[in-house]
Amino acid sequence: MSVTAKTYVQKVAREGWTSIMECGNFKASLMKAPRLTDNGCVRGLPQGSQIPVFPITALPACPGEWLREEGVYVCPVDTEWGLWFDWTMNDVMNTAVVPSVKGMNPITGLEVEGPGLETYKKCCPRHGTEFGPNRLCEECGYRWPAQNYVTQESTMWWDGFRQPDGSVRQFFFTDDDRRDIASAVIGKENTVPAFGFVFYRPKVERQQKVERTREILIGCHIKPEKWYAFDLYGYKGDKHLGNGKSPTINDYSTSGTVVSDDSVSISYCNSSGVDGGKGTILRSLSVDGLSAEELPEPSETESKSVSVGAGAKINQELKVDELGIDGWKDENSGIIRLYFVFEEQFRNIVQEGGIKGIQTNNDGFLAELPVG
């Protein structure tokens, strides 16, 4: 990060920035991850780190057309950042999320005209024609998803633009207008520089279950003097430490081959011997200390609109909501919006209007009164 950006980061940190967005009881984080290389293979879910965000009320000079209400945030970004949405800090059994990227739903490719939950059973929402088998629209030439929202059946995160083959194309930031998916699909004039997350609660609350997490798996069975961290599609499992122990994640077992001192190639299959595809090496870790991965340094970017591109394939299937649309309330229970700009525009916003302090007095009406 540039010195200038660091200055603003440090200043806003003193004023009380956050990495978790909130609206009512709902929360979300924007996660930064390495941009994966499209090598023709379907990749595993990448690990990430939370991107700091700022309540829009802390930045008075934000563009006038941006909304100013509860649950609205702003963040500076840079090119070539991979990213994903994290909603796992919510009550996942009782939460449904309709995501949007610059005004387009990344699951359906449809322009967001309202925040509602939608399911697709009989007719194509784009052409109005009846579906063939498995929601196939002959005019579109592909099978539609069962719904436009994410529930705990798919786990509460989302990584990219959905494809009908059970994968998504990784979200990434770029300054190349030609790579902006929303502009190409719904028209640039219909886009907004923001992500949106619309949250719904069920009509009848369900009992909480243990959800899957994006834990890394640490193994030492490949090379004794190195620890390796693997990302195997986000399934939570035991961490196996020590020579000769083969790591497992639920029904998956892994094997690996050293490519170099700092990378390995791994593959895995389930207990029935079915090939599960390739995994992704996240980083090599020394035995003495587990150091965090360093992402690439941001580059200098002219003040221009941020595009969100579709990168490498990630194995992420949208599972059918078992509760069904009739099980959810008709009205949403909260909306989180996150505007994003390149660092130069963010710097201009800060220079023009400063940063409004957002710290509150924890004593409330008892401030300056004798207590204790």
pLDDT tens, residue by residue, 107-161: 999 999 876 999 999 999 999 999 999 999 999 999 999 999 999 999 899 999 9
pLDDT reading at 162 higher than 70: yes
In the chain, how many domains are there? 2
Pairing status of strand 157-158 against strand 275-278: unpaired
Residues 47 and 168 placed together within one structural domain of the fold: yes
Residues 22 and 133 placed together within one structural domain of the fold: yes
Integer CA distances (angstroms), 50 to 28, 132, 217, 290, in order:
10, 41, 20, 19
Give residue 91's domain range. 3-210+299-353
Q: Which residues contact residue 178 at a Cβ distance below 8 angstroms, ignoring those fewer than 6 apart?
A: none
- Give the Cα separation of 367 and 57 in Å (integer): 23
| Mean pLDDT across 51-63 | 93
Q: What's residue 230's pLDDT?
A: 37
Contact, 282 vs 246, CB < 8 A?
A: no
Does residue 34 form part of some domain? yes
Q: What's residue 184's pLDDT?
A: 97
The 10s digit of each residue's pLDDT in 86-100 is 999 999 999 999 999
Does residue 363 form part of some domain? no
| Mean pLDDT across 300-307 | 73
- pTM comes to 0.73
Residues 201 and 233 placed together within one structural domain of the fold: no
Does residue 36 form part of some domain? yes
Q: Which residues contact residue 200 at a Cβ distance below 8 angstroms, ignoring those fewer than 6 apart?
A: 95, 96, 97, 98, 117, 149, 328, 329, 332, 333
Does residue 313 form part of some domain? yes
Does residue 102 form part of some domain? yes
The 10s digit of each residue's pLDDT in 225-248 is 333 333 333 333 333 333 333 333
Residues 127 and 188 placed together within one structural domain of the fold: yes
Does residue 345 form part of some domain? yes
Q: What's residue 354's pLDDT?
A: 83
Least confident range from 77-81, 91-95, 289-293, 304-308: namely 289-293
Does residue 291 form part of some domain? no
Residues 167 and 225 placed together within one structural domain of the fold: no
Residues 159 and 306 placed together within one structural domain of the fold: yes
Residues 102 and 205 placed together within one structural domain of the fold: yes
